[in-house]
Amino acid sequence: MKKLLLFSGICLSLLTNSEAQQTTTIRITGTRLVYPLFQRWTDEYSRLHPGVKFIVARMPADSADLLIVSHKLGASDLKQGWREEVVTRYVQLPVVNFHRKDVAGLQSRGFDDSAFRRVYFSATGQSPSPYQFTVYKRQQPACASISFANHFGSEQKDITGVGVTGDDKDLLAAVKKDTGGISYNNLGFLYNLSTRRPVDSIAIIPIDLNGNGRIDSDEDFYSSLDQVIDFVERTHHPKIPLEDVHVLWRNNGQDKNIADFLQWAITKGQTYDHAYGFITISN
């Protein structure tokens, strides 16, 4: 009986060790605004592939297996031996406090290119905006701010205003607290993902796409998150700030697991993009 118990214990130990050896953990870090979508992707993928686990969290870049970068890649971003894949896209829009007195006028007029430059980049020589704003910007370099500035031919350092510590959620919180505040943010934070309507205390400023000084009926699609997504995916309008989300990784022995996960993310995983306010790469 003792020999049988000992044999059973050895078998169980071997089975446990074998299962542990077959489990792979992929660590993911980078642009935090994409974390909710990545968390959904990794949860769904692990359910389908129990042997692959993920950690999506802040960590040093050199400790991660996948690095999320959400701005246009420069020559120094993709190091030798690294690979890159575009996995989704995101939109950023101007946002003000809902309680400012001139919000209705702002929304009926919208922002054209010159208005964006006057409000956010006044140090570049543009004449001041006729509206009074306190611009809130990220205090430290951040992918979304780099992307927003790049869309208008500028750099993050060119954005004028008050620096906010933290992430894009803190940027939005600053606008909510200041009736004169203005900033920029991504759809996943500007809209309630359940109701698909703008979150409390903020108002989105439409973009004057044809530059005629007013928001026409075909430019007025901001009341619903799904309307914005639909318009962007149908038109690919160049005046709407839209950016790719890249994933970078290096050859570290997990190439097969990483490649399989990313292939799933850019195909079947795209069905989750809209739920979190992202634009699919298939459109």
The two tokens of residue 241 are 């700030």
CA distances from 239 to 65, 122, 134, 207 (A): 34, 19, 23, 8
- Give me the pLDDT at residue 80, please: 84
The residues pairing with 191 across neighbouring beta strands, listed in sequence order, are 198
Exposed/middle/buried for 205, CB within 10 Å: 0-12, 13-18, 19+? buried
User: What is the phi/psi pair of residue 220, to 5°?
Assistant: -100, 85
Contact (CB, 8 A) for 157 and 170: no
Contact (CB, 8 A) for 248 and 143: no
Domains and CATH numbers, the chain: 23-89+244-276 (3.40.190.10), 90-242 (3.40.190.10)
pLDDT (tens digit, 9 = 90+) per residue, 99-126? 999 999 999 999 999 999 999 997 544 5
Distance CA 28, CA 6 (A): 41
- Give me the pLDDT at residue 39, please: 98
pLDDT (tens digit, 9 = 90+) per residue, 68-97? 999 999 888 888 888 999 999 999 999 999
pLDDT (tens digit, 9 = 90+) per residue, 153-180? 999 999 999 999 999 999 999 999 999 9
CA proximity to 182, closest of 209, 202, 157: 202
Distance CA 183, CA 148 (A): 11
The two tokens of residue 96 are 């003000």
Grade residue 31 by pLDDT with cuts at 50, 70 and 90: very high
Rounded to two decimals, what is the model's pTM?
0.90
Rounded to the nearest 10°, the torsion over CA 175, 176, 180, 183 is 20
CA proximity to 153, closest of 87, 208, 247, 72: 72
Distance CA 243, CA 70 (A): 7
Residue 18, pLDDT > 70, answer no
Instruction: Compute the Cα dihedral for 38, 41, 44, 46 and give only its sign.
Output: negative
Whose structure tokens read 């992202």?
278
